[in-house]
Amino acid sequence: MNVNVKKLHENAKLPAYGSAFAAGADLYACEGADIGAGETVFVHTGIAIELPAGTVGLVYARSGLACKQDLAPANKVGVIDCDYRGEVMVALHNHGREARCVEAGERIAQLVIAPYYTAQFCEADALSDTVRGAGGFGSTGTK
């Protein structure tokens, strides 16, 4: 699948896969950013993307950045709709107790492109029965 990407900043880098079977393509900061402990900062990628109709861009944390530097997307998973043409930015939150610095060119998140369904929501008086029923929040496990 070809995906058009427009550079909005001279330092912008196109998303890139780290290995042949990587599901997520790395997103890169186009500018440096300082993120204080407990703070959230919008980090610019300097790119806009044209996702194919029927797909969504899901922005996830990079495990190394989250585990080693306490930096992860503030909204946990960012959603880029296929009709959005603005700059892709990542709201990075510093979960740690020390300020962190993101350098220009650093990998800050990963982008997974996935298909989605648009549902027609229909009001119903009853729903079908299942074994699980209305059990939630850990009801299917022992601990």
What integer is the mean pLDDT of 76-80?
Answer: 96
Residue with tokens 């909204």: 75
In this structure, which long-range contacts are made by residues 106-109, counting pairs with CB atoms below 8 Å and at least 24 apart in sequence? Answer: 106/28, 106/29, 107/26, 107/27, 107/28, 107/62, 107/65, 108/27, 108/28, 108/29, 108/43, 108/45, 108/62, 108/65, 108/71, 109/26, 109/27, 109/59, 109/60, 109/61, 109/62, 109/65, 109/73, 109/78
Span 80-125, pLDDT tens digits = 999 999 999 999 999 999 999 999 999 999 999 999 999 999 999 9
| Helix (H), strand (E) at residue 49 | strand 40-50
**Buried (b) or exposed (e) across 14-50, using 16+ Cβ within 10 A?**
ebeeeeeeeebbbbbbbeebebeeeeebebbbbbbbe
The domain spans of the chain are 4-115
What is the model's pLDDT at position 134?
A: 82
Residue with tokens 């080693």: 68
d(CA 104, CA 130): 51
Tell me the CATH number of domain 4-115, given options 2.70.40.10, 1.10.150.170, 2.40.160.20, 3.90.79.10: 2.70.40.10
- pLDDT for 138 beyond 80: no
- pLDDT for 143 beyond 90: no
Span 32-74, pLDDT tens digits = 999 999 999 999 999 999 999 999 999 999 998 899 999 999 9
